[in-house]
Structure 1
């Protein structure tokens, strides 16, 4: 059994065994109360639920983009001149916070697009880097906010050779200041509060947890 198979077998086994009880809520109905046509296809669903123990009726609102299709966040890794890994991060202007943020490249899926194809397309659109599916490994799927978002984000590890450093460019108006940095710099930036984007933080956590089990 190779390292990839051992890892796959490992992640299928629960680390903390648990037997979940019945869900505390029974969903009675859902209806769409808002939908943005075009753009991110942002929508809001209203759910009516009953508390199983008390019978109380509650309402919740859940948001999604692109009908909840899986998107991808790209952890692009390549060796530096000494053979150590460096990672691609970029400054991204976000309307929600009206601030610049250091993030890994990411994006939403198009219809009928697999997470690997989404990662490949988004990386090309945002940085000008073109990779093949053999260079992409989906490490895990994450949910940005299980309380209010109905989303699915694939954490894609993309390995590229040293020569790819020449192909990086700000080809997307949303990104600026692309940088290749070592893992120690990413860690220091997190510790200093310089990386605050939740998806980037979660993706890095997944990468760090799985890196010892991979060929890295």
Structure 2
């Protein structure tokens, strides 16, 4: 990660919310290239950690209360060129629904075996490893 890249465009924080052996995914109204289904995510605001942004974005997009458990990793996304941070989260309250109707049109709780139907180009290695370990149990 270079400081220059971080200053040009804020990083994106994604929340990996696992509940009852499924991962929460949301579908954007406007796809970012091949990205239409993804994890709840959004720009990291000034003074905010990636974990704080993941928790906030999940609440803003889905109304679900979550707590950050662990930062899984960061990378420059190969499809968007944006710095991405991935945070494992657990549900602490509420029910997931499409709250941000301008940005989202659908959400789904997805089982491990179904992920390739939603994300056909594969997942970031540490994210896949986390889901394999968490959703297999």
TM-score range, shorter chain: 0.7 to 0.9
Deviations 1:133-191 (A, max 9, x none): xx431111111149x94x42111111226xx5x6112111211221112101113x1xx
> For the Cα contact (< 8 Å) 1:89–1:104, is it kept in 2?
yes
Unaligned runs of 5+ residues in structure 2 are none
Structure 1 unaligned blocks of 5 or more: 1-44, 46-63, 80-84
Q: In the TM superposition, what is the alpha-carbon distance from 1:70 to its structure 2 partner?
A: 3.2
Deviation at 1:124, TM superposition (A): 0.7
Based on CA coordinates, which of the two structures has the bigger radius of gyration? Answer: 1
Change (3 A) 1:66 1:127: farther
Taking structure 2 as the reference length, the TM-score comes to 0.76
Change (3 A) 1:195 1:122: same
Question: Is the contact made by 2:24 and 2:107 (CA closer than 8 Å) also made in structure 1?
Answer: yes
Contact 2:112–2:132 (CA under 8 A) maintained in structure 1: no
Match among 108, 111, 128 for residue 63 of structure 2: 128
Which structure has more relative contact order (CA 8 Å, sep 6+)? It is 2
Give the aligned partner of residue 59 of structure 1: none
| Contact 1:66–1:109 (8 Å) recurs in 2 | no
Q: TM-score, normalising length from structure 1?
A: 0.51
